[in-house]
Structure 1
Amino acid sequence: MTRLVLIDGSSYLFRAFHALPPLTNAQGEPTGALFGVVNMLRATLKEKPDYVAFVLDASGPTFRDELYPDYKANRPPMPEDLRAQVEPMIRIVQALGFPLLRVEGVEADDVIGTLALQGAAQGMEVTISTSDKDFAQLVRPGVALVNTMSGSRLDSADAVVEKFGVRPEQIVDFLALMGDTVDNVPGVEKCGPKTAAKWLGEYGSLAAIMDRAGEIKGKIGDNLRAALPRLPLNRELVTIKTDVALDGGPDTLPLRERHVDELRELYARYGFNQALKELEGGSPDASAVAEKEPGRARGTGRIATTAPDEAVDPALGAAGEYTAVTTPEQLEALVAQLRAADEFAFDTETDSLDPMQANLVGLSFATRTGQAVYVPVGHDYPGAPPQLDRAAVLAALSPVLSDAGRRKLGQHGKYDLHVLRRHGVDVQGYADDTMLESFVLNSGSNRHDMDSLARRFLGYDTIKYEDVAGKGAKQIPFSQVAVDDATRYAAEDADITLRLHRVIAPRLAAEPGLERVYRDIEMPLVPVLARIEANGVMIDGDELRRQSADLSKRMLAAQQKATELAGRTFNLDSPKQLQALLFDELKLPVLVKTPTGQPSTNEEALEAIADQHELPRVILEYRGLAKLRSTYTDKLPEMVNPDTGRVHTSYHQAGAATGRLSSTDPNLQNIPIRTDDGRRIRKAFVAPPGRKLVACDYSQIELRIMAHLSQDPGLVRAFESGADIHKATAAEVFGRKLEEVTANERRAAKAINFGLMYGMSAFGLARQLGIGRGEAQDYIALYFSRYPGVRDYMERTRQQAREHGYVETVFGRRLYLEYINKGTQGQRAGAERAAINAPMQGTAADIIKRAMIGVDAWLADHRNQALMILQVHDELVFEADAGFVPELLAEATSRMAAAAQLSVPLVVDSGVGDNWEEAH
């Protein structure tokens, strides 16, 4: 199919300017934005579009300025460093052969919109390359949006709904309601994306919302009615014109011949060495190399080359020299090279994503950037070349890999530690992990996989797994990949890991607080987590089968009850049938709608109408039982490792921005504990004969951290006294003696204690306690009057976040807040709530990680007597010989309590049992 690419030039330029550091060339001229644009343009060329246009705004007013004189009136002038890069950008765009369009009287958006619809009408596959959300209104069959900086792609109505909560044809109404602070288009005050999407889901269009504005209650309804006169103009301002009179259509925009001499001059002047090397016919440009989706857990990149985060040596962005080691002499030379190196990067290639069952296919190593080797040991396709014996290779490499004095580097190296351990090699001296370096440097960044890091820090696109192993049903295991292809792919892993470390490590070292988090917490935790995962936990399959049978009976009973209530049979798992039954037949009110405007049957919707009919409550009961059965009681027995007879979860360090660990396969963090059925599942986690399970859990750790951070005398005093904190809070707030506090008062105090940490409003507190909003506001005001230090801490934290763009944990972990000073009012409010909560949640995460490291070190001499087997939220679970339990309890709880020195004591609760539930 004919392809048309329309590039939003202003978006490219501004995004590159703000995404990159202030790079300069040898003459001191700014180059950061220009570098980003050039890399993105070169990536576009690799895609070989049939037609392409680079579209910029023309100078002078547009029709929107005539409609609304204050349009874009609050935009600051273009920074001088950016202005200086516009002219060379235009020269490079034209020298590369891109048609450049600027049309007076309209914006670049309107030119792109017109060409996009013309191209789609002519049967072209149209891609709009932009980061501007306004273009979502153009998505339709044949027209897709690609955000080249983030990699996101909107190519269908469903994708738009998933991102914005509204259909493409509703985007204009969506934008009109929210307004646009960048363009100085005032929307409905306090109407953010969620509210706008909710209204459009319920009413369908802006016109319908305006007609029924009187039905919308509360302050937001007042704001809507106040904004009614300007909403039609808003809609006109945010609508992209698609009928601009142009001199030619999409088929007049073929790529033109490039001007090599001018490109050579420009690339040399601005120091774009890799682009210049490609121009002169050197090694393939980095952007020409496809992305990589590794055969293990390394990510699934989709975006084209973007500019690196930092100016680096051009060699760091070049393709490397990669060779295979297939003879004893080459292996001997490799071992000597590794022994002589101060540090080296390594990686494994396997035939499975599960490190607990994966077979080793090969290993790769790099001791210097740009050079790496691959040692194939398990390629078994017909006609495969001779390879070294796996056992002989591991025997030769094991001494250097297990030498703690030799620094090893990896990317998500915990996987490789597992694989090598299972093949008899105990890796020691694992010193750096590029995934964790990136995560600690900026935990708010979405992705820390190798592909994303290579693009972000090196401007380099790695090889896709599909390029060497194929796709879908035709994909082959890595053991059947041709050795030559495997060498390029696998050796690149080690090379890129070393290159990334050389770029990221200095940046981390420049931030001593972050460096300490990385060195003292994250890196020492890697082998600890590897041991916990390898230990695994025993599962009682018979108990789970009994629970599954019981859940099935109760699901059947719920189905029968639902049939009686409905007066007919229906499928409880069918949203369509539920929708017809609840809203068409039973005429229950539609209180929640889907993004497409249909009555919703999700949990929120059913809870909202559960007080009006018994059937929604029965459906909710059925769903809860079904989820427990499918997620846990049926699934866990299938996850028992056939070699160990245990279940082995995988812990992830670089998932949550706060530093909290998450787990998958299975996700043990989500086992429900507030219901009897959820707690029963823990009964199936058992100790083997002669052993016990021991659970040690921090008591109210985030509240204790709040007391430490706020230094509020009343809160500190309550914890130091050892009293029930919620009762003590109630006594303070309601002015009672401790023994006079009622159950309802304690409940209210508990809701305030926890709610304030998560930014709960008076409205949220009122809903939780079932009281009036005014009464809830009085509770909060009274709380702050008794604990003024908490109020002061919250305000200080908000201010620090606004000034620095981040907050920190007690140990120096930094948590960036993207929207603290920008975005919608709702986004800023959310960032402020996160600013208050993140230091507490992040400090709690740091504390339990430090505890795990300390307890694991003590366990080193007692591994035959006790194992650490689980970490869930603020809890550690151990398996121990029955006779060793008293010593374990004493040592584990004391080390957990000593994991941080706070102004209030850290208290650890513990329990012992034959299963996890008994240990609570």
Structure 2
Amino acid sequence: MPRLVLIDGSSYLFRAFHALPPLTNADGEPTGALFGVVNMLRATLKEQPDYAAFVVDASGPTFREALYPQYKANRPPMPDELRAQVEPMLQLVEALGLPILRVPGVEADDVIGTLALQGAADGIDVTISTSDKDFAQLVRPHVELVNTMTGSRMDGDEAVVAKFGVRADQIVDMLALMGDSIDNIPGVPKCGPKTAAKWLAEYGTLDGVVANAGAIKGKIGESLREALPQLPLSRQLATIKTDVALDVAPQALGLRERDVDALRGLYARYGFNQALKELDGVNALESPHMDVRALAGDPHKSRGSGRYAAPAEADEAPPAAELSAPGEYEAILTMEQLDAWIAKLQAAGEFALDTETDSLDPMRANLVGISFAVETGHAAYLPLGHDYPGAPAQLDRAAALAALKPLLEDAGRRKLGQHGKYDLHVFRRHGVAVRGYADDTMLESFVLNSSQRHDMDSLAQRLLGYDTIKYESVAGKGAKQIPFSAVAIDDAARYAAEDADITLRLHRVLAPKLAVEPSLEGVYRDIEMPLVPVLERIEANGVKIDADELRRQTADLSRRMLAAQQKATELAGRSFNLDSPKQLQALLFDELKLPALVKTPKGQPSTNEEALEAIADQHELPRVILEYRGLAKLRSTYTEKLPEMVNPDTGRVHTSYHQAGAATGRLASSDPNLQNIPIRTEDGRRIRKAFVAPQGRKIVACDYSQIELRIMAHLSEDAGLLNAFAAGADIHRATAAEVFGRTLEEVTSNERRAAKAINFGLMYGMSAFGLARNLGIGRGEAQDYIATYFSRYPGVRDFMERTRQQARDQGYVETVFGRRLYLEYIQRGTQGQRAGAERAAINAPMQGTAADIIKRAMVDIDAWLAGQGGQALMILQVHDELVFEADAGFVDTLLAEVPARMAAAAELRVPLVVDSGLGDNWEEAH
């Protein structure tokens, strides 16, 4: 059958405008919406329809304004930068050979509706290309909806019901009941899609609902009865006309020949460089769904390279030969050599620095040697602690450090390293406070693309094509590995000097990459590099642990673990090893015949936490096993281990923070991992009781309140969220009121809990299935909750759709401050991988922005604390919380200063709120 494509031009112009960054051409003219529309048109033309039309609204009032003067009265005026793209869009459409239809007195929707039904009646398959939900009322045999920007299709009643919960012939009635805040169509207050679908399922039509209005109970029934007089008008406003008198029939909408000369001029003007090549038959594009920025070339240099997906070194020019060649290295064994190198370092604009030690723990490591490089291919190693038999004489460590100290503590001398925070610790332990630490190749790589590996060996291979000397090749491995102090100095010099040399080479490659990405360079210079010495100080400060408290907790956990073992034995009817997956598998699935709902990669029944949770409602034993495991994990990970981690020199526990540990930019911690201490359980919170203040001091905790939801409000610009936060409302209660159609006072605790699950679940990409499992409700009910939420917070829905599309288009998403997260599987891989990438795309801007904000706050607070004479120390950072140890007399000052500085770390459309607490231990302060 012949095919007619009707393009909702206005819809796609707005969608493209909001979905793409604010692109401009060389003359500064806005082009972002044009790129999106042209990409959509190319996709349509590539499918070679028999007939097509690009339909837009005509200027002037329509019959709907005559019916209801307030129709669309609330719509803001079109932004100037979008208005400027309307005429160029029409010129491009015209030049591409597409008929343009504008009919005065009606909307584009009515023109499309009329042509769609005429075409279907004439035996033509009609595709309406739009993102407007109102068109679902037109779906029927031979009429389908396609959203070209997302690829979604609605081609029958089954698809409409799956999307909206009602049939196509009920869509108008649903719209009338719900109303539309965008078009200012009055409806029934507090009636969302769930309620409207429920009424229509029960009563069939709007007329049926009206006839039975008296039987509908509660506040929503009162709202319905009050709205009865305006419902006929609402239905009339929501109905797409299908009988518009048109001067053209579907069969007259054939495509014309392209105006190649006009297209060439337009493409050149707006920077469509790749499209120009395609027009002239060069480098023709293969995919209609390609990245719109690839179509456009690189029109927005100020926002970065505009490349699709993560930067890949494989398609770039190889590094200069000197960056891949073997280096020349020397060992510094005399004071004359050291003086010569100090002079060389003093004269250099910057130099690479690295240390060799006898421990991976920076708080216990003793300095064995130092390496330097001032030019690529040349470096030196200063051995200071090699003590193997026959080792050559080395410079006295104290004397060498005294000679180097003025240089290392000179903030005007730029130092660079690879994971240099470790080296700062080592020098501090040996009496040298390094200043002027200016660049870190690990962080340069991390900011450029957080999803790659950032260790020196991987970076050297990837960026330089250079195979580094491995530690095992000079120190051995396994039981035969020797300490670095026992490595022969000649071998140590080759290995250690190479580290400094490769660091400098990597910087020569990475720094120019950052220089052409201003937003990324800002993240690197303004957030990550200033944070390095801050984290070093926090780690060095450490936190005091109450070992006696932890011993008491260990004893209590042990008693409860024994009780759980006994309970499990009773339930099983025999003894078994709770720590043996094989025995658990046999007991649960072979003997008790419980369903194996989760499988291992090899297809065997799993006994992991997810598997036990899945069957915990079918037998008491899985729940007891989970309880036992939770207690065991707390005991082994924290209550038993923390006392063993107390540093004998400081009497405190010192965690390590990792800036390159999470792709979103969030800090990770290890040895011990303080990010994973459970806070939702009483046992987990009790562990914080063992983090204490010394005599005469207090613990102060300052925590951002609902920061990711606030960032969601900022990014989505949803009016409901913005108003709720501006008013200081309980956001979960406010959401519950919207979703369940209640006043704030009527919201129950369970409804607030459900709203909280929705608020946070949507940020992490939770599906209706996940929400249903979380709340213990049916999947359909969970889907209704989500649909109602989006109807009440349409800005959130639009933000999520926009973000997904941006991720598909450019291969990455960004935080408010310009940090990027590249999404490897957003357009390739399995369906599960793509879905995971989309979930990450939604969450990363919020989680990453939250990480950026607290990092900015830490840098500011650290600078303030430096002038307070040690009256307070920043000792922990855990997720959105900062923890301090302060003199009792300084607490009031700290509580006045720190929350204010945290709240001022970013300017969002909603206020940042910081909660503070005070106590003798972390649990009391939290």
TM-score (norm 1): 0.66
Secondary structure in structure 1 of the residue aligned to 2:393? coil
| Residues 851-896 of structure 1 deviation map (CA, whole Å, 9 limit, x = unaligned) | 0001101000114200000000000000000110010011100000
- Displacement of 1:583: 2.4
Paired amino acid for 2:578: L
Paired amino acid for 1:388: L
Q: Is the 8 A contact 1:718 1:725 kept in 2?
A: yes
Q: 1:591 aligns with which of 572, 590, 597?
A: 597
Unaligned runs of 5+ in 2: 1-45, 47-312
Secondary structure in structure 2 of the residue aligned to 1:683? helix
| Residues 792-828 of structure 1 deviation map (CA, whole Å, 9 limit, x = unaligned) | 1111111211111111100000111111122222222
Aligned-partner Cα distance in 2 for 1:817–1:599: 32
| Residues 41-94 of structure 1 deviation map (CA, whole Å, 9 limit, x = unaligned) | xxxxxxxxxxxxxxxxxxxxxxxxxxxxxxxxx9xxxxxxxxxxxxxxxxxxxx
Say yes or no: does 1:693 pair with 2:699.
yes
Aligned-partner Cα distance in 1 for 2:317–2:906: 35
Secondary structure in structure 1 of the residue aligned to 2:922? coil
Q: Is the 8 A contact 1:308 1:459 kept in 2?
A: no
The match for 1:286 is: none
The match for 2:327 is: 320
Q: How many residues align?
A: 615
Secondary structure in structure 1 of the residue aligned to 2:885? strand
Secondary structure in structure 2 of the residue aligned to 1:624? helix
Q: 1:516 aligns with which of 522, 533, 549?
A: 522
The match for 1:429 is: 436
Aligned-partner Cα distance in 1 for 2:841–2:458: 26
Q: How does 1:179-258 map to 2 (within 5 A)?
A: none
The match for 1:482 is: 488
The match for 1:401 is: 408
Secondary structure in structure 1 of the residue aligned to 2:924? coil
Q: Is the 8 A contact 1:708 1:902 kept in 2?
A: yes
- Displacement of 1:370: 0.5
Q: Is the 8 A contact 1:308 1:456 kept in 2?
A: no
Q: 2:729 aligns with which of 723, 740, 743?
A: 723
Secondary structure in structure 2 of the residue aligned to 1:820? coil
Query: CA 1:587–1:794 in 2, change beyond 3 Å: closer, same or farther?
Result: closer
Say yes or no: does 1:684 pair with 2:690.
yes
Say yes or no: does 1:774 pair with 2:795.
no
Paired amino acid for 1:502: R
**Mean Cα displacement is larger for which, 899-908 or 615-624?**
615-624
Query: CA 1:833–1:503 in 2, change beyond 3 Å: closer, same or farther?
Result: same
Secondary structure in structure 1 of the residue aligned to 2:611? helix
Say yes or no: does 1:441 pair with 2:448.
yes
The match for 2:648 is: 642
The match for 1:348 is: 355
Aligned-partner Cα distance in 1 for 2:508–2:535: 25
Paired amino acid for 1:609: I
- Displacement of 1:604: 1.8
Unaligned runs of 5+ in 1: 1-73, 75-305
The match for 2:289 is: none
Say yes or no: does 1:572 pair with 2:578.
yes
Q: How does 1:142-541 map to 2 (within 5 A)?
A: 310-445=317-452, 447-541=453-547
Aligned-partner Cα distance in 2 for 1:313–1:707: 47
Aligned-partner Cα distance in 2 for 1:766–1:471: 51
Say yes or no: does 1:561 pair with 2:567.
yes
Secondary structure in structure 2 of the residue aligned to 1:663? strand
Say yes or no: does 1:614 pair with 2:620.
yes
Secondary structure in structure 1 of the residue aligned to 2:359? coil
Say yes or no: does 1:830 pair with 2:836.
yes
Say yes or no: does 1:882 pair with 2:888.
yes
The match for 1:667 is: 673
Q: Is the 8 A contact 1:521 1:846 kept in 2?
A: yes
Paired amino acid for 1:414: K
Query: CA 1:846–1:814 in 2, change beyond 3 Å: closer, same or farther?
Result: same
Q: Is the 8 A contact 1:308 1:457 kept in 2?
A: no
Paired amino acid for 2:596: V
The match for 1:40 is: none
Query: CA 1:479–1:509 in 2, change beyond 3 Å: closer, same or farther?
Result: same
- Displacement of 1:568: 2.1
- Displacement of 1:308: 8.9
Aligned-partner Cα distance in 1 for 2:596–2:803: 41
Paired amino acid for 2:656: S
Q: Is the 8 A contact 1:436 1:654 kept in 2?
A: yes
Secondary structure in structure 2 of the residue aligned to 1:807? strand
Paired amino acid for 1:413: G
Secondary structure in structure 1 of the residue aligned to 2:412? coil
Aligned-partner Cα distance in 2 for 1:577–1:814: 46
| Residues 469-527 of structure 1 deviation map (CA, whole Å, 9 limit, x = unaligned) | 01111110000000000000000000000000011101100000000000000000000
The match for 1:208 is: none
Aligned-partner Cα distance in 1 for 2:450–2:823: 10
| Residues 664-703 of structure 1 deviation map (CA, whole Å, 9 limit, x = unaligned) | 0000000001111111100000000000000000000000
Q: Is the 8 A contact 1:307 1:458 kept in 2?
A: no
Aligned-partner Cα distance in 2 for 1:870–1:491: 34
Aligned-partner Cα distance in 2 for 1:307–1:742: 57
Q: Is the 8 A contact 1:308 1:458 kept in 2?
A: no
| Residues 126-179 of structure 1 deviation map (CA, whole Å, 9 limit, x = unaligned) | xxxxxxxxxxxxxxxxxxxxxxxxxxxxxxxxxxxxxxxxxxxxxxxxxxxxxx
Paired amino acid for 2:397: R
| Residues 332-359 of structure 1 deviation map (CA, whole Å, 9 limit, x = unaligned) | 1111111111100010000110010011
- Displacement of 1:563: 1.8
- Displacement of 1:608: 2.2
Aligned-partner Cα distance in 1 for 2:822–2:605: 37
| Residues 181-224 of structure 1 deviation map (CA, whole Å, 9 limit, x = unaligned) | xxxxxxxxxxxxxxxxxxxxxxxxxxxxxxxxxxxxxxxxxxxx
Aligned-partner Cα distance in 2 for 1:307–1:743: 55
- Displacement of 1:768: 1.5
Aligned-partner Cα distance in 2 for 1:735–1:351: 65
Secondary structure in structure 1 of the residue aligned to 2:925? coil
Secondary structure in structure 2 of the residue aligned to 1:388? coil
Aligned-partner Cα distance in 2 for 1:737–1:433: 54
Looking at CA atoms only, which structure, 1 or 2, has the larger radius of gyration? 2
Aligned-partner Cα distance in 1 for 2:617–2:777: 17
The match for 1:199 is: none
Aligned-partner Cα distance in 2 for 1:308–1:453: 16
Q: Is the 8 A contact 1:373 1:491 kept in 2?
A: yes
Overall identity of the aligned pairs, in %:
84
CA RMSD of aligned residues (A): 1.3
The match for 1:706 is: 712
Secondary structure in structure 2 of the residue aligned to 1:380? coil
Q: Is the 8 A contact 1:653 1:660 kept in 2?
A: yes
Aligned-partner Cα distance in 2 for 1:612–1:746: 28
| Residues 342-380 of structure 1 deviation map (CA, whole Å, 9 limit, x = unaligned) | 100010000110010011000000010100000001000
The match for 1:851 is: 857
Say yes or no: does 1:543 pair with 2:549.
yes
- Displacement of 1:580: 2.1
Say yes or no: does 1:897 pair with 2:903.
yes
Q: Is the 8 A contact 1:308 1:455 kept in 2?
A: no
Query: CA 1:664–1:389 in 2, change beyond 3 Å: closer, same or farther?
Result: same
Say yes or no: does 1:783 pair with 2:757.
no
Aligned-partner Cα distance in 1 for 2:792–2:592: 50
Aligned-partner Cα distance in 2 for 1:499–1:604: 46
TM-score (norm 2): 0.66
